[in-house]
Amino acid sequence: MEKVYTVRIENECSCFKKSAFKNNQTFNDKADAQMKAKVMECRMNQEFCHTHYFEAEDMGDEIILRSVVRADFEDEDEDYI
């Protein structure tokens, strides 16, 4: 039996739901799954609403794109002054 690798979005935010991206994409080749996850991660971080930061995590047979709420950048700048 051929192994299948899945790229999964952990929490589908409204920006993801409005996008052309699909959740739970499957691939027969792990390198293809990893590449797709990295492309999605990059595009989501650059093109989405910037409320969340997305990061791909390789869990073996599954690559999960997790999201966290971005910190308020203005507050971060004050820490360095």
Average pLDDT over residues 42-56: 92
To the nearest 5 percent, what fractions of the chain are helix, strand and coil? 35, 30, 35
> pLDDT-derived band of residue 43, with 50, 70 and 90 as boundaries?
very high
What percentage of residues in the chain have a pLDDT greater than 70?
88
- Parent domain of 56: 5-79
Strand arrangement of the beta sheet that strand 62-69 belongs to: 25-27, 5-9, 62-69, 52-58
Q: Give the chain's mean pLDDT.
A: 88
**Which two structure tokens, joined as six digits, stand for 80?**
């360095």
CA distances from 64 to 30, 31, 44 (A): 13, 14, 14
Residue 73 above 90 pLDDT?
Answer: no
Question: What is the pTM assigned to this prediction?
Answer: 0.81
Q: Which of 61, 7, 59, 11 lies closest to 37 in space, CA to CA?
A: 7
Number of domains in the chain: 1
